[in-house]
């Protein structure tokens, strides 16, 4: 009996909290989500990140049950909740999932207490259980004093807390958040980021968070899916994506500052950037043209003996923790480099950039990693 229970526990732990298989969503001739496959372990904090129009909000709406898939399927804890093939679409209220909207979407005619109570009432909670749970989430989110206020009477940050309280009230197994911090000012965003991470730890819900802000993605996530044109460019833990980006898009989208892909052409036994010899061509046998990825910290201003140097046009610099993040141009190519101390030059001035180390990675001309 004990052996059977252990086997069942292992099976449950091996079942993804969210399994997305060959998921596609088309609107007429436009493909918003294109054959996505993701498996999310229980208790994860998955961040969907990418530029505007990449399909991340459409994917979240399909997870929530607000959009049916054209093809593929979604399963929560082993149970299929949406299928483009069979036409199965579980009602949003029956998915054990809660959604926090970007616009908060609070009911203006209900008090804070009324907003939190309504989904509990819909879920069939008794009056006493509702009262206890409302007290719990009000205290948990430190908004007890707002109990009898209406949404129009409280600030944006307070409305966001109410929206989160309303969502976690029924104790959903999956928490979906659609750019919930985008309407807040910079300082409040940082504060609420920490608050959301605390909520995630406390509720133990598997969370899916949509943002276009890569700093939010790398700060909060246990797993990151970088989306581009409806497809997943790369999926994995944030440190893995930073260390080993599989495409130049990921390398230039993630990280502060992001990586610098340099186009290079084979000449003899070396890859050349213009007339500058960058590195041995042995790094990418069989390739005539490549992109060499250099981290910002591996490039500086000013020549160093024995290292490749190129001329660039200074654009701007920003101080960061005792260093300067310097942006410059070589033709249409924008490069970001790090310099110790405070550095500034006249915009448009010619400066020398020195590559301190060999490239961190090599990509082909299509942006796919070679080595």
pLDDT digits (tens, 9 = 90+) for 143-179: 999 999 999 999 988 998 999 999 999 999 999 999 8
The DSSP code sequence of 297-364 is: GGEEES--TTS-EEEEEEEEEEEETTEEEEEEEETTEEEEEEEES-----TT-EEEEEE-S--SEEE-
Q: What is the pLDDT of residue 41?
A: 95
Q: Are 130 and 122 in contact (CB under 8 A)?
A: no
CA distance linking residue 301 with residue 4, whole number of Å: 64
Identify any residues that bridge with 324 across adjacent strands, giving them in sequence order. Answer: 319, 339
Does the pLDDT value for residue 8 go beyond 50?
A: no
Instruction: Determine contact, residues 49/218, Cβ cutoff 8 Å.
Output: no
Distance between CA atoms of 274 and 287, rounded to whole angstroms? 17
Q: Which residues contact 159 (CB under 8 A, 6 or more apart)?
A: 104, 106, 151
What does the DSSP assignment read for 238-298?
Answer: HHHHHHS-SBHHHHHHSTTTTPEEEEEEEETTEEEETTEEEEEGGGSTT-SEEEEEE-GGG
CA distance 369 to 141: 44
Domain ranges, ordered by start, for the chain: 15-251, 258-363
- Segment 293-299 mean pLDDT: 96
Per-residue pLDDT tens digits for 226-283:
999 999 999 999 999 999 999 999 999 998 899 999 999 999 999 999 999 999 999 9
pLDDT band at 11 (very low <50, low <70, confident <90, very high): very low
Task: List the strands of the sheet with 361-363, edge to edge.
Answer: 276-280, 270-273, 260-267, 289-294, 361-363
Domains 15-251 and 258-363 share a fold: no
How many residues in the chain? 371
pLDDT at 7 over 80: no
Q: Pick 11 or 196 by higher pLDDT.
A: 196
From residue 287, give the alpha-carbon distance in Å to each of 124, 278, 355, 366, 368: 64, 15, 22, 12, 12
For domain 15-251, the CATH superfamily is P-loop containing nucleotide triphosphate hydrolases (3.40.50.300)
What's the chain's average pLDDT? 92
126, two tokens: 């008794």
What pLDDT does residue 118 have? 94
- Cα separation, 97 vs 283, whole angstroms: 48
- Residue 1: the pLDDT is 44
Report how far residue 295's alpha carbon sits from residue 302's, in angstroms, rounded to the nearest whole number. Answer: 17
pLDDT at 9 over 80: no
62 has a pLDDT exceeding 70: yes
Query: pLDDT digits over 81-91, tens only?
Result: 999 888 878 88
Any idea which architecture 258-363 has in CATH? Beta Barrel (2.40)
Instruction: State the pTM of this model.
Output: 0.88
Pairing between β-strand 361-363 and β-strand 174-178 as defined by DSSP bridges: unpaired
């Amino acid at each position: 009996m004990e052996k059977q229970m252990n086997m069942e526990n292992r099976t449950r732990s091996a079942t993804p909290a969210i399994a997305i298989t060959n998921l596609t969503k088309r609107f007429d001739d436009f493909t918003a989500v294109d054959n996505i496959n993701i498996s999310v372990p229980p208790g994860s904090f998955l961040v969907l990140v990418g530029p505007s129009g990449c399909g991340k909000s459409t994917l979240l709406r399909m997870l929530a049950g607000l959009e049916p898939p054209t093809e593929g399927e979604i399963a929560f804890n082993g149970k299929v909740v949406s299928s483009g093939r069979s036409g199965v679409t579980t009602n949003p209220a029956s998915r054990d999932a809660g959604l926090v909207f970007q616009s908060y979407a609070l009911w203006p005619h209900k008090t804070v207490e009324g907003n939190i109570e309504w989904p509990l009432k819909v879920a069939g909670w008794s009056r006493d259980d509702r009262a206890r749970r409302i007290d719990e989430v009000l205290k948990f989110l430190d908004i007890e004093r707002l109990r009898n206020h209406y949404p129009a009477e409280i600030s944006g940050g307070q409305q966001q807390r109410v929206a989160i309280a309303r969502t976690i009230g029924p104790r959903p197994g999956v928490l979906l958040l659609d750019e919930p911090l985008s309407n807040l000012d910079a300082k409040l965003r940082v504060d609420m980021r920490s608050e959301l991470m605390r909520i995630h730890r406390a509720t133990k819900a598997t969370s899916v968070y949509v943002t276009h802000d890569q700093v939010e993605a790398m700060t909060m996530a246990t797993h990151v899916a970088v989306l581009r044109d409806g497809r997943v460019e790369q999926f994995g833990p944030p440190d893995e994506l930073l260390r080993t980006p599989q495409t130049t898009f990921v390398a230039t989208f993630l990280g502060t500052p992001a990586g610098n892909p340099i186009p290079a052409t084979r000449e003899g036994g070396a890859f050349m950037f213009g007339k500058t010899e960058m590195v041995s061509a042995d790094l990418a046998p069989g390739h005539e043209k490549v992109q060499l990825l250099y981290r910002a910290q591996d490039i500086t201003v000013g020549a160093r003996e024995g290292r490749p140097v190129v001329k660039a046009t200074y654009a701007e610099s920003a101080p960061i923790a005792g260093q300067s993040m310097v942006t410059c141009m070589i033709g249409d190519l924008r490069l970001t480099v790090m310099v110790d101390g405070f550095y500034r030059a006249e915009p448009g001035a010619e400066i020398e950039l020195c590559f301190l180390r060999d490239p961190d990675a090599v990509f082909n001309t299509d942006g796919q990693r070679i080595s």
